[in-house]
Amino acid sequence: MAAYLALIRIDLLLALRAKSVIFFNYLFPLIFFFVFAQSFHAGQGAVITQV
């Protein structure tokens, strides 16, 4: 478990060094997600209608 936590720590430190990595790993997917959610009119939930 200690080796796994050390690996996570090293990966995070390497990722936080470069601003482009922060953008493309964290911010770009969030922006992409919200743009698609807005384009497909994602709401809080769908109304179920019985036929």
Domain contains 23: yes
Domain contains 46: no
- Whole-angstrom distance, CA of residue 25 vs CA of residue 49: 40
What was the pLDDT predicted at 22?
A: 87
Domain contains 47: no
Task: Give the pLDDT band of residue 43 (cuts 50, 70, 90).
Answer: low
At 2-29, the pLDDT tens digits run 999 999 999 989 988 988 988 998 899 9
Domain contains 49: no
What was the pLDDT predicted at 31?
A: 95
Domain count for the chain: 1
Range of the domain at 17: 2-39
The two three-digit tokens of residue 47, written as one number:
């109304």
Segment 37-48 mean pLDDT: 73
Alpha carbon separation from 20 to 11, 32, 40 (Å, rounded): 15, 16, 28
The two three-digit tokens of residue 51, written as one number:
């036929």
Domain contains 25: yes
Domain contains 48: no
Domain contains 34: yes
Domain contains 45: no
Tell me if 8 sits within 8 A of 15, measured CB to CB: no
What was the pLDDT predicted at 45?
A: 63
